Structure 1
């Protein structure tokens, strides 16, 4: 009887042991399998999924049909065409790529290194830091609403997100990768092979990742970075309690023919997407940055830069292409100090005709700053991945 009980107990123990071993085996397999991320099948906020599995932009500005490139733009002014129609899977794949340092040549930098979500998708530096901690010539512009823009880079040399992406990816002083190495790296990561096959199901699952797919996915994600729900926007759509009296005063200064801010920073994007020579000074000791003169080979564009959007401007200090001004108040002061006052004596720049001598009072400048802070909206900030398909740590 004792032997029989012993046998039964042993059998039960054996079953329990097998069960535990199976549990740990399955758990371990599940943990390994979970490293292969499944892409999101839902559109990000601000987009709706159509019957073709495309994310289509939806916002209140679509009810207005007046263009935003004429005059100073009314409060209820339409937006230009946005890059949309990407699939949820493309956008989500682009999100992983954006935060993954595997895109750089040595695996230390990601797109998010210079475009940090909580810094307005800029980096908080006067000029960005590249490979081997090299200080670059210009600051990182915000990526909010970049899907609406037709000029990219400070000097406007790129006209599409895909074209823009090649700059930092393959620059020797930035992410320092090559097309060949990038594709070789991604194609040797099983997780990415699976994710690209999921995002681009029309091709065979065993096909290699292609460069245009990398560019498209990153462009899809960046186009999803929409910021159109600030307190200013709520005011513009008819909820006038969204702004207080001082902020409304600042908005009226901004739109006035005296300050003329809205003529270049035209609502609702708060940029007219043009190149402009404003004569901003360089940091002490640095020569004049020729700006758009170089890519366009046009001397009239010497010192010209793209008019930046003011969306989330509160989050993207310091200001100007070289981060010359630490605060919004300093930037506003520059404009009221007078046309061409900071141009070096040996330069003869063709200053944009909107830059003149508004002679704003301290009170008016303070109200302008109040208004600019109402353009902050980070409600659609995407989630930073907890882990990456490459196995590397998120680089921010």
Structure 2
């Protein structure tokens, strides 16, 4: 079992006061606070508060309407997750690679499953996947119900077929009872029920609050001056927030960050060279417990990660435009590491108490035929058009986008849509369509086509 070495946030208590003050001032400037302070007292504090608000935790966990949580379903999913019977030879459980004591990872560079052979990629942690837009390092699963099937049926991982597993579990009286309680409307033990229960359990794995959350919620004493300076660097000079944004510290997009290797990741999956070598941004929550890092597990420590961003990036055409070279002074590096430590629990993390969110209200649709892409968003995110009209989508961003429509009778793939380019998509039939970006799949556009 891997041994976790917590980051020592007190290791440099003598950082110059001028440095710390400068970093805190930078945090205010990130949202225009330094200019605003000249115009109105307290404007800088308001700017910092607005920045902190971007990292506030949501009030509840989203669950799909087709698979709502119940105590019986959560209990069944947790039991299945820990049961080696899910593997073909009864030796590997989900917890074998996603160990709760290791932040739902396995603590090694590359894991092994029932085949006793190295897996293709590093085992990712499972924190906060309820908010995911695509799953696995390359995003090949669109939902958690689809994702949980993959490891069970992968010949290297668990090597079992879901129909055969359903038959095996169905011969166990206690499992038959548990499935009947979890799925009273469809009480059989079947592949869909297995996937639904496992997905429900994984959605419940929400990282607990840490000192950073206390600070974001208003407790100024929760972080040291050094850690606050690290927060300013994270959002400023270091550029970490370009990809590690939002309360879970991930944009849930795919980026080539210049690691060596021949794995084409997202690019191979969607057939787009602009996304070659791109892998999903991992959440930084509980990162002190989830080493080693990256899709290949090649970087053992956070110091090694910073070294990579300083001088290890391989230059190639698919490199993410959000990637910055992170060249920091020693005091800055120490402050950034101190801040990152505040995103992790001081003891082995336990999932936060589950509070399910109510159904999300759909975005209000606007009438119009022109959509902008900017800051990894479709603007607006919902639109109404009439059958026979076309929708023009303009890339006003600094990034390549890839507009896709995969469901329903109409299919569309824009290919690589570079900044400044536009694509036009005609809609002949009434209905509701969901477009997304193949590189930044959290970008969603609801299109209502009326007669």
Q: TM-score, normalised by structure 1?
A: 0.71
Choose the corresponding residue for 1:241, options 221, 237, 248: 221
Deviation at 1:126, TM superposition (A): 0.8
Residue 87 to residue 263, structure 1, CA distance change in 2 (3 Å): same
Question: Deviation per CA, 1:217-268, whole angstroms, max 9, x where unpaired?
Answer: 1111111111141111111000111111221111111011x21101210031
- Contact conserved, 2:89 with 2:114, CA < 8 A, in 1? no
Deviation at 1:161, TM superposition (A): 0.4
Q: Which runs of 5+ in 1 are unaligned?
A: 1-72, 282-286, 383-396
Q: What residue number does 1:251 align with?
A: 231
- Please tell me whether residue 189 in structure 1 is matched to residue 134 in structure 2: no
- Contact conserved, 1:105 with 1:181, CA < 8 A, in 2? no
- Contact conserved, 2:215 with 2:221, CA < 8 A, in 1? yes
Question: Deviation per CA, 1:124-149, whole angstroms, max 9, x where unpaired?
Answer: 11112122321112111111111111
- Contact conserved, 1:134 with 1:173, CA < 8 A, in 2? yes
Deviation at 1:79, TM superposition (A): 6.0
State the alpha-carbon separation in 1 of the partners of residues 207 and 163 from structure 2: 35
Q: What residue number does 2:241 align with?
A: 262
Deviation at 1:74, TM superposition (A): 2.4
Choose the corresponding residue for 2:196, options 216, 219, 229: 216
- Please tell me whether residue 380 in structure 1 is matched to residue 351 in structure 2: yes
- Please tell me whether residue 227 in structure 1 is matched to residue 201 in structure 2: no
Q: What residue number does 2:51 align with?
A: 74
Q: TM-score, normalised by structure 2?
A: 0.63
Deviation at 1:327, TM superposition (A): 0.4
Q: What residue number does 2:16 align with?
A: none
Equivalent positions of 1:1-396 (< 5 A) are 74-77=51-54, 82-84=61-63, 85-203=68-186, 208-256=188-236, 258-281=237-260, 287-337=261-311, 341-342=313-314, 348-377=316-345, 378-380=349-351
Deviation at 1:349, TM superposition (A): 3.7
SS at match of 2:148: helix
- Contact conserved, 2:288 with 2:344, CA < 8 A, in 1? yes
Question: Deviation per CA, 1:248-295, whole angstroms, max 9, x where unpaired?
Answer: 111111011x211012100311001111111123xxxxx421111221
- Contact conserved, 1:303 with 1:349, CA < 8 A, in 2? no
Residue 233 to residue 259, structure 1, CA distance change in 2 (3 Å): same
State the alpha-carbon separation in 2 of the partners of residues 128 and 186 from structure 1: 26
Higher RCO, Cα 8 Å, sep 6+: 1
Q: Which has the larger radius of gyration?
A: 1
State the alpha-carbon separation in 2 of the partners of residues 330 and 99 from structure 1: 33
State the alpha-carbon separation in 2 of the partners of residues 327 and 120 from structure 1: 15
CA-based RMSD: 1.8
- Contact conserved, 1:75 with 1:268, CA < 8 A, in 2? no
State the alpha-carbon separation in 2 of the partners of residues 232 and 275 from structure 1: 26
Deviation at 1:350, TM superposition (A): 1.4
Q: Which runs of 5+ in 2 are unaligned?
A: 1-49, 354-451
